[in-house]
């Protein structure tokens, strides 16, 4: 079995937990995720795409090494491109929230055929939840991963119309209902970050007020 990070293993376990016809891995880079997915389910149809030629070259080399060249279609393109009919799942992993939102917004037409989005960013989770919820998706699963001194939240969205309140957008509706050790670890870490920023800025500034409010919200749940 190919060796991949815990973050990518978590993305994969969400992809694999239900029947999927075809996935596109947008920004595949090395395509390690796609190789791992095929090693666990040889029937998956996978498109691995990237904006740049160099990552696609390294993807091709890795895919060749594991003899999956006839199983993964490589595409050089920006964002979702034009999705093949069999694609029902979109994975966007390892990008900032702005890029993820841009990719989804500019591929809105394409999203009609998509049942699931699996999103892995390492920042601005509340904004991601809000924007993707407004595109007609709800959160079906969320998992926190701590790896190499960084926290990641991997989110699975499915089609739906429920609107979330501020607290749900901040903590994640799924995480709030399933608080585990990592939940407390991550949100205590956020509180420490906030408290440290607060030490260095004027107490009556707008930013300080926002941070004080955030600490209050955090204290109610952790
Ligand atoms: C940090 S790598 C993440 C690789 C892998 N998905 C992961 O999670 O480890 C980000 C990749 O996304 C690609 N990328 C950035 N913007 C993109 C876009 N608009 N469309 C397609 N690929 C993009 C980059 O070229 C890069 O290879």
HEC sequence for the chain: CCCCCHHHHHHHHHHHCCCCCEEEEECCCCCHHHHHHHHHCCCCEEEEEECCHHHHHHHHHHHHHCCCCCCEEEEECCCCCCCCCCCCEEEEECCCHHHHHHHHHHCHHHHHHCCEEEEEECCCHHHHHHHHHHCCEEEEEEEEEEECCEEEEEEEEEECCCCCCHHHHHHCHHHHHCCCHHHHHHHHHHHHHHHHHHHCCCCCCHHHHHHHHHHHHHHHHC
The answer to whether position 38 is within a domain reads: yes
Pair 49, 147 in one domain: yes
Query: What is the spatial distance between Cα 29 and Cα 62, in angstroms, rounded to a whole number?
Result: 10
158 and 110 share one domain:
yes
Same domain membership, residue 190 and residue 142: no
Ligand 1 centroid–CA 178 distance in Å is: 30
Cα(30)–Cα(19) distance, rounded to whole angstroms?
A: 25
Q: Are residues 39 and 140 in the same domain?
A: yes
Domain shared by 31 and 123, yes or no: yes
With respect to residue 173, please indicate whether it lies within any of the assigned structural domains: no
User: Which residue among 28, 50, 57 is best mutated to probe the pocket of ligand 1, counting the most ligand atoms within 8 A of its Cβ?
Assistant: 50
In a domain, 1, yes or no: no
Are 185 and 151 contained in the same domain? no
pLDDT at 123: 86
Q: How far apart are CA 187 and CA 183, in angstroms?
A: 6
Question: Looking at residue 132, what is its pLDDT?
Answer: 98
Q: What residue numbers bound the domain in which 194 lies?
A: 179-222
> Structure pTM?
0.96
Please check whether residues 82 and 12 belong to one and the same domain.
Answer: yes
* Listed residues 129, 163, 197: the one ending a domain: 163
Residues 17 and 54 occupy one common structural domain: yes
Within a domain: 120:
yes
Nearest CA to ligand 1 atom 7: 94
Are 204 and 125 part of one and the same domain? no
Measure 62 CA to ligand 1 centroid, in angstroms.
16
Q: Is the CB of 103 under 6 A from ligand 1?
A: yes
**Is 31 inside any structural domain?**
yes
Q: How close is the Cα of 99 to the center of ligand 1, in Å? A: 9
Determine the Cα–Cα distance for residues 90 and 103; give it in Å rounded to an integer.
11
Residues 116 and 44 reside in one and the same domain: yes
Split into its structural domains, the chain has a count of 2
CA-to-CA distance for 6 and 136, rounded, in angstroms?
Answer: 29
Residues 103, 185 within the same domain: no
Q: 170 in a domain, yes or no? A: no
Domain boundary among 163, 192, 214: 163
Question: Does ligand 1 lie within 6 Å of residue 93's CB atom?
Answer: yes
Per-residue pLDDT of the chain (222 residues; tens, 9 = 90+): 999 999 999 999 999 999 999 999 999 999 999 999 999 999 999 999 999 999 999 999 999 999 999 999 999 999 999 999 999 999 999 999 999 999 999 988 999 999 999 999 988 999 999 999 999 999 999 999 999 999 999 999 999 999 999 999 999 999 999 999 999 999 999 999 999 999 999 989 999 999 999 999 999 999
- State residue 122's pLDDT score: 82
Q: In whole angstroms, what separates CA 3 from the centre of its chain?
A: 20
Is residue 92 included in any domain, yes or no? Answer: yes
Rounded Cα gap, residues 186 and 167, in angstroms: 16
Ligand 1 centroid – CA 27 distance (Å) = 3
Q: Is 218 found in the same domain as 132? A: no
- Identify the CATH number of the domain in which residue 55 sits: 3.40.50.150
């Amino acid at each position: 079995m190919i060796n991949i990070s815990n973050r990518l293993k978590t993305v994969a376990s969400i992809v694999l937990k239900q029947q999927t016809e075809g996935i596109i891995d947008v920004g595949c880079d090395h395509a390690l995720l796609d190789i791992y997915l095929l090693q666990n389910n040889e029937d998956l149809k996978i498109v691995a795409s990237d904006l740049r030629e160099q990552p696609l070259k390294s993807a091709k080399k890795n895919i060749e090494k594991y003899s999956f060249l006839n199983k993964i279609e490589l595409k050089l393109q920006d964002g979702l491109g034009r999705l093949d009919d069999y694609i029902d799942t979109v994975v966007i992993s390892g990008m900032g929230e702005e890029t993820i939102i841009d990719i989804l917004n500019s591929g809105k037409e394409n999203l009609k055929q998509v049942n699931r989005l699996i999103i892995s960013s390492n920042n601005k989770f509340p904004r991601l939840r809000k924007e993707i919820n407004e595109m007609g998706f709800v959160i079906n699963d969320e998992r926190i991963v701590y790896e190499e001194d960084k926290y990641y939240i991997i989110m699975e969205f499915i089609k739906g119309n429920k609107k979330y309140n501020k607290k749900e957008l901040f903590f994640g509706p799924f995480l709030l209902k399933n608080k585990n050790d990592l939940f407390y670890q991550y949100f205590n870490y956020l509180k420490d970050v906030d408290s440290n920023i607060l030490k260095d800025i004027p107490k009556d500034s707008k930013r300080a007020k926002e941070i004080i409010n955030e600490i209050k919200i955090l204290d109610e749940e952790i």
